[in-house]
Amino acid sequence: MNETTPVDPLTKLRIRRRLPSPSRRREIRQGAGASLADMASLLGVSSTQVLKYEDGTCPRDPVVLARYVQLLDQLSREFGTTDSPRGITA
């Protein structure tokens, strides 16, 4: 996916279902030792926008949201913040 690729409704739903709660998003970022500026640099957005994604107040651009969810997944796995970014274990 990129900025010019439309995102179908099913993909949007999948992305939203994988998005952790706002408190869990912050926990993952902080557990990985990443600052808002670090996340912003990796996502190609401003620190303010990352903060809004983190607290759930940012309009959900599906392309950036997909990258954000993937980044949270990766941080969660690499830094052992949990087995699942949503905090769900088997």
Helix H, strand E, coil C: the string for 63-81 is HHHHHHHHHHHHHHHHHCC
Q: Find the CATH number of the domain harbouring 65.
A: 1.10.260
* Residue 26 covered by a domain: yes
Once rounded to an integer, what is the mean pLDDT over residues 6-17? 75
Tell which wins on pLDDT, 30 or 59. 30
| Alpha carbons 49 and 39: distance in angstroms, whole number | 10
pLDDT of 49-82, one tens digit each? 999 999 988 776 788 888 999 999 999 999 876 5
Token representation of residue 2: 């990129």
Range of the domain at 75: 19-79
Contact 66, 18 (CB under 8 A): no
What is the count of structural domains for the chain?
1
